[in-house]
Structure formats: C-alpha cells, structure tokens
Structure 1
Amino acid sequence: MLLCALLLGACSKEAPKLDAPRPVRAAVLAEGAAGASAEFSGEVRPRIESRLGFRVAGKITAREVDVGTLVKQGQVLMQLDPQDLKLAATGAQASLRAAETNRDLADADYKRYQELRTKNFVSQSVLDTKRAALRAAQAEADAARAAFRGQSNQAGYASLVSDVDGVVTSIDAEVGQVVNAGTPVVRVARTDELDVVIGIPEDRVGDLRRASSVTVRIWSSPDQPIAGRVREVSPIADPATRTYTAKIAIPPRAGVRLGMTAAVQVASKNGGTGLRAPLTSLHHEKGVTGVWLVENGAVRRVPVTIVGQAGNDVLLGEGVKAGQTVVTAGVNLLRQGQKVRILTADVARRDDTEAAAASAPAAGAPAAAGGAVK
C-alpha cells in the first residue's frame, strides 16, 4: 500500500502557477501639435561695433581708455600732437586777414571810381574793371574764410571722441605711433543692442525662417531664458564651415556680456496634429508599428500611424483615441493579453490628467514617460 501511494504521488500533475502582473509605466494619450525643435550654440556680440580713427594724420600723444572701459558719447579716447595743426590753422587765419584787407581796398577803390563816373571823369569800362576787381577780392576772402574754418576743424580732429555710449573692445594703436587719417585705432561697441551669432546648417535655414519662437539661454545663467528674434540670416554660406550665419537679436540684460556663450533653441510648427505619446511607447513587429493599450488590467497591441513629431514625443493618428492609456516602457517584453500593473506614480499622473481633461478637454497634456521596467 505504501508503494502504491508513492507511485500515485509521483504521477500526479503539479497545479499551474499564475503569472503575476508585470509592472509597467504608462501615459494617457492627449491632443498635441507637431513641431520641430533644434538648438545651436552661439556667441553674444554687439549689433554695432565701430572702428574709430582720426580724421587727420599725426603722432599719438595720449590714450585715455583701456579695453573694457565704458565710455559716453563725446568722451575723449585718444589725442594727437596738435602743434602742426595749430600752426596750419594760424596760417589759414593770416591768409583770411590778407584776403579781407584786399577786399576792403578793392571796395574803397570801386566806390571812389563810382563818384568819378558820376562826374564823367572816367569811362564806364574803367568802372566795370573796378567792379570786377571787387568781386574777385570778395571771392578770395570767401575762399580764405572757408579754408580757415576747415583748418580749424582739422585742429579739433586731434582729439578722437566716442560718438556713442558703449564699451571699448579693442585698442589697435599706442602712444608714440604715427597713424594716417582714417586708420582704425579704437573699437567701440554699443551695449544697447545685442546679437547672438550662430551657424545654421543648410537643411535648417528654412526652419529658422519659419520659427514660431526663439529662446536664448546664456551659459552662465541657463535658468533665465531670454526671448530672441531672428534679425538676419546670411544669404551666403561660410566657405570654411559651410553654415549660414544667423543673428538673433536679444534685449540688453544685466549679467549678459559680450563674448558670452549662448544656446539658441528654435521651435517651429508644421501644422500637424495628433495624439501625443512618448517615443518609447512605439512597438515594431513584422514591419508594423503599434502601441500596447492597457485595458482592464491587460495589454492589447494595436497598429498606429505616425503623423508627426513634437520634441521627444510622437504624434499618433489612426488606431488610438484620446484618453486611452499606452505602455511607455518595456514594450518589447509584453505579449497579447498579458496582465500588467501600472506603477503608482503613473496611476496618480493618469488620474490628474483625466481630471484636467474633464474640466478642460482641449487643454489635456500627456504624462511624461518614466524609466525602464524593473
């Protein structure tokens, strides 16, 4: 009897074990708009940077500013030796006095001959000659006066002054150096208008022109975004980098200095709409793209169509409806009809999304995808 009992126990089948529900992460589908986003690194530069030089030639005798000096309009930057210019102005003034003396003499002579002509002591041709001599003397006086004024201005050009409020970015000449007229010696950049200069690949130029928003973040303060505006896009690619230079205008802000590194984020919309879902929710099998829907505690795979992309998410078209829950992590480990358990954080997020959709159906937003399945 004992032997029979042992044989019967060995031949009996063990009861099958039920699989425990697999924990998954999930998100609720909601309406979204397709768009494209790209980020480019750039440098903060002034919109206007002037290369200032003397209007006259001479020897530099003084330099009043250094690189980084904040200057005001009319402030003296450099000075030339004014001695030769002053001598030239003095000579021009002496020529003016001589021309005015000749004019006065010609005027007195003409008036005297006018009286003689009234008494018929001289002929009309003699009077005409004196009138012509007076006009010539007047013209010489006018020319001498203009030359004196011009030379006086030349003497004033010995001082190089800033014509704008800004900051000195470069010094290209030093004291004792002899410079020609127009040679740049100081660079002054305006600080009231700033640009972030970036290089755009040729396949992104069109997206930049259609940008719906441009956001600039300075590397030193990335948590303070600045709204930018596309001000200029070069029509010619750089021969070395083969990129198109673009300038993004930004308003002046405290802490933003010239030469700082900045990141420019460009977002543009292409007009497509669909149900927004994380990219990790897609499941590819036999050339068909689908997602796993969570229904009554189990998963069901349905094929979907992709109509666009919005950042790191995709926009789904046919196959799903708004409000349905899709698995966002571990999609390759599931099988049709498998029991699943949504993680607690995703359940709370799904409840918040459904409550927001009930109060404002058009304002629903998809929940963020979580990490990998444990």
Structure 2
Amino acid sequence: MLRHALPRILPLTLAVLLAACGNGEQAQTSIRPAMVVQPQPAADSVEAYPGEVRARLESELAFRIGGKISKRLVDSGARVKKDQALAELDPEDVRLQLEAARAQVGAAEANLKLVRAERDRYQTLLQRQMISRSQYDTVENQYRAGEARVKQIRAEFNVANNQAGYAVLRSQADGVIASRRVEVGQVVAAGQTVFTLAADGEREVLISLPEQSIDRFKIGQTVAVELWSQPDKRFPGRIRELSPAADPQSRTYAARVSFADGKVPAELGQSARVFVQLNGEVPLSVPLSALTAEAGAPYVWVVDPKDSTVKRRPVRIGAYGEDRVPVLEGLSADDWVVAAGVQVLREGQAVHPVDRSNRTVKLVAKE
C-alpha cells in the first residue's frame, strides 16, 4: 500500500513546501551606490569646436583665358614665390591670334599712309583752287577714318599680346599651393579655379558652428585655441569672421578665428580646437557621463533627497563641451544628479549617494 501511495504523496508534499516558501518575506533588494554631483555654474562651462589651421589670405588662381593645359609646373603642397609660373596653356591659338592682330596693324598703317598722301595732294589742289571744297572734305574724312582704324587695330593687338601672356598662370604672392584642381590635357574655361594659394603670413582656424546656437557668437568674441601638436597650451584668439549663411549641406556656419599673437607656431592643415567660454549664456552644466537619452530625448537621473530614490528628469541641452554638457532647461543648482552608471538605473530605484572618493553624501531635502 505504501509503495502505491508514495507517488501521490510526494507531489503534494512539494506543493506544500513551495507554498510555505511563498508566504515568507521576499529577500531585501541591495541598495547600490551611485556617484552624485551637483550642476556647476555656467562660468565653468566651455564649448569646444574642432577646426583646421588655414591661411588668412587664400586666393583661387585661374587663367584669364580659356584653353588646353599643356604644362603643370607645381603640385599641391609646393612652396612658390611671387610671379612664379605655375601652369601653361597650349600657346598655339594665342600665338595665331597675335600674328593675325600684328598683320592687321600692318595693313591699317599701310592704308593710313595711303590716305595721308592722298589728303596731302588734295590739299595742294585745293590751295590752287583746282578742286572743290567738298572733294577735299571727302579725302580728309578718309584720312581720319584711317587714323581711327589704326588706333583700333593697335588696341586689338595689345589685347592679343596680353592674352599671350595670360597663357602662363603665375603666383600672386609667396605661399603654398593648398590644392590643385586640374591635370595636364584638361580644357579649362576663363576664370575656372586651377590652384588655391595659401599666402604666407597670418594663420587662422576655420571652425563650423551649429545652427541652433549661432546667436551666441559674434565677431570679436574672445576664444582660446589649442593645437593638437601642443595639447598643453592654449593660445588666445578672437572670432574674426562669421558667415552670414549656413552651409547648404552641413547646415553649419563657418567662422574664422584669428590668433591674438601672430607668432603662434601653427602650420597649414594642422588640427585644432577652439574653446568658447559662455558666461551668462548657459545656467548649468553636468558631466557627459550623467547624460543619457531615449528616442533622441536627453535626460538625467536626479536623486530625491527624501528617500534617496532616482527619478528621470528630461533636460534641454546645448552643444557638447570637452567633458561637460550645458543644460539649458530641466535642472536647478541644488539638484543631485547621478554622474556614472546611468544606463543601469530604473525609475524609483533606491541608491546610496556617494562622491568621487566613495564617501557618503548627505542629501538635503528642499524646503
């Protein structure tokens, strides 16, 4: 009998034991530590923008006439002197035009010589009263037309002579060829950019400013510039130029930052960062590690001083800085924000507030 009843008794016993366990108290959830900080004032908030060292004077060099490029004498990165030849067009067409203009000058001068002699003969006949005044006036007009024709043809010859010189593209100043846009054999139009010349002299940093915060920048605003080759030094500068229109592709505004000291060892093409101090513009800032987002909406975790639980707080932020982000709306100066491990928190979770040295932080509730 016991052997037949045992299979029925065991499941019942296990069910009773599980029910007894379920009636007991749940294991207490451990309270995890959370490093908390308070937002810093705007005076400690700095925005950083990447940039590139450029020449203050950058000229786009182009031929003044069209033609086929027969020679390219320099390449990108080459150092050139003023009036140095950079490229040449096929000279055959301009040579023929010059010869044609020279021949026309000769023909016009020969015609002028003929009408001058004719006028002199008619003038003698007029003095002897052997011809009428109207006959002399006709010859005189032919002579004046011949003079005007010579002046016109000589001007056309000078133009053709100048165009022969335009077949050679020369540098306008000492500097470095920043870019090259043509190859030998390519046919270019008049005014088409062939080289970009970065003239020697003052250097600047070209940066791009976001569209949503362009109102916070102005010409003459002081900034600090850091070169990637010298990360421990910051050079004073100012915004010299600010584009009035956004780039159609990136939707950013180009700005040029000049160095306060013209002797800064900045070379063309070097990477740089421009730091902008926004005093009075952004009320508060938090570490980058305190910020998270969901569906593109940024938020932070704020600790409630009453029961040390965390609550999600949506915020509106500005442009990211080097290690902090400005908060335009959503926080006050006496809030306590979780600065690390924000990805593992959940709404209403209890935490143990600590500082960066792992010391307990006593939160003071708002009155």
User: Contact conserved, 1:216 with 1:263, CA < 8 A, in 2?
Assistant: yes
| Distance in 2 of aligned mates of 1:155 and 1:144 | 16
> In the alignment, what sits opposite 2:273?
263
Tell me, yes or no, if structure 1 residue 104 matches structure 2 residue 108: no
> In the alignment, what sits opposite 1:164?
173
Q: What amino acid does structure 1 have at the position aligned with 2:253?
A: Y
| Distance in 1 of aligned mates of 2:207 and 2:116 | 70
Residues 81 and 34 of structure 1: CA distance in aligned 2, closer, same or farther (over 3 Å):
closer
| Distance in 2 of aligned mates of 1:104 and 1:68 | 56
Which of 193, 200, 206 pairs up with 1:197? 206
Residues 264 and 62 of structure 1: CA distance in aligned 2, closer, same or farther (over 3 Å):
same
Residue 184 (structure 1) shift: 2.4
Residues 78 and 252 of structure 1: CA distance in aligned 2, closer, same or farther (over 3 Å):
farther
SS of the residue 1:102 aligns to:
helix
| Distance in 2 of aligned mates of 1:137 and 1:260 | 63
Residue correspondence of structure 1 range 66-85 to structure 2 within 5 A: 66-85=75-94
Q: What amino acid does structure 1 have at the position aligned with 2:217?
A: L
User: Contact conserved, 1:213 with 1:268, CA < 8 A, in 2?
Assistant: no
Residue 216 (structure 1) shift: 0.6
Residue 164 (structure 1) shift: 2.1
CA deviation digits over 1:210-252, x for unaligned, max 9?
A: 8752111111112332222212223334454443332212365
User: Contact conserved, 1:54 with 1:160, CA < 8 A, in 2?
Assistant: yes
Residues 67 and 107 of structure 1: CA distance in aligned 2, closer, same or farther (over 3 Å):
same
Residue correspondence of structure 1 range 18-29 to structure 2 within 5 A: none
> In the alignment, what sits opposite 2:56?
47
SS of the residue 2:191 aligns to:
coil
Give the CA RMSD over aligned residues: 3.8
> In the alignment, what sits opposite 2:135?
126
Residues 124 and 35 of structure 1: CA distance in aligned 2, closer, same or farther (over 3 Å):
farther
CA deviation digits over 1:163-182, x for unaligned, max 9?
A: 12221122222233333333
Residues 40 and 102 of structure 1: CA distance in aligned 2, closer, same or farther (over 3 Å):
same
Percent identity, aligned pairs only, is 40
| Distance in 2 of aligned mates of 1:121 and 1:261 | 90
SS of the residue 2:147 aligns to:
helix
Residues 80 and 35 of structure 1: CA distance in aligned 2, closer, same or farther (over 3 Å):
same
Residue 35 (structure 1) shift: 6.9
Residue 334 (structure 1) shift: 9.3
Tell me, yes or no, if structure 1 residue 152 matches structure 2 residue 161: yes
Q: What amino acid does structure 2 have at the position aligned with 1:71?
A: V
Tell me, yes or no, if structure 1 residue 332 matches structure 2 residue 361: yes
User: Contact conserved, 1:212 with 1:268, CA < 8 A, in 2?
Assistant: no
SS of the residue 1:332 aligns to:
coil
Tell me, yes or no, if structure 1 residue 179 matches structure 2 residue 188: yes
Q: How many residues align?
A: 265
User: Contact conserved, 2:221 with 2:239, CA < 8 A, in 1?
Assistant: no
TM-score by length of 1: 0.60
SS of the residue 1:45 aligns to:
strand
Residues 33 and 91 of structure 1: CA distance in aligned 2, closer, same or farther (over 3 Å):
closer
User: Contact conserved, 1:212 with 1:267, CA < 8 A, in 2?
Assistant: no
> In the alignment, what sits opposite 1:13?
none
| Distance in 2 of aligned mates of 1:181 and 1:202 | 36
| Distance in 1 of aligned mates of 2:58 and 2:77 | 13
Q: What amino acid does structure 1 have at the position aligned with 2:361?
A: N
Q: Unpaired segments of 5 or more residues in structure 1?
A: 1-31, 272-282, 288-310, 317-326, 336-374
SS of the residue 2:217 aligns to:
helix
User: Contact conserved, 1:99 with 1:141, CA < 8 A, in 2?
Assistant: yes
> In the alignment, what sits opposite 1:353?
none
User: Contact conserved, 1:216 with 1:264, CA < 8 A, in 2?
Assistant: yes
> In the alignment, what sits opposite 2:26?
none
Residue 42 (structure 1) shift: 1.5
Residues 227 and 106 of structure 1: CA distance in aligned 2, closer, same or farther (over 3 Å):
same
CA deviation digits over 1:177-208, x for unaligned, max 9?
A: 33333332222222324332222234533332
| Distance in 2 of aligned mates of 1:126 and 1:211 | 76
Q: What amino acid does structure 2 have at the position aligned with 1:190?
A: A
| Distance in 1 of aligned mates of 2:103 and 2:118 | 23
Residue 36 (structure 1) shift: 5.0
Tell me, yes or no, if structure 1 residue 235 matches structure 2 residue 244: yes
> In the alignment, what sits opposite 1:216?
225
Residues 194 and 160 of structure 1: CA distance in aligned 2, closer, same or farther (over 3 Å):
same
User: Contact conserved, 1:208 with 1:266, CA < 8 A, in 2?
Assistant: no
User: Contact conserved, 1:70 with 1:166, CA < 8 A, in 2?
Assistant: yes
> In the alignment, what sits opposite 1:87?
96
User: Contact conserved, 1:56 with 1:158, CA < 8 A, in 2?
Assistant: yes
Q: What amino acid does structure 1 have at the position aligned with 2:59?
A: S
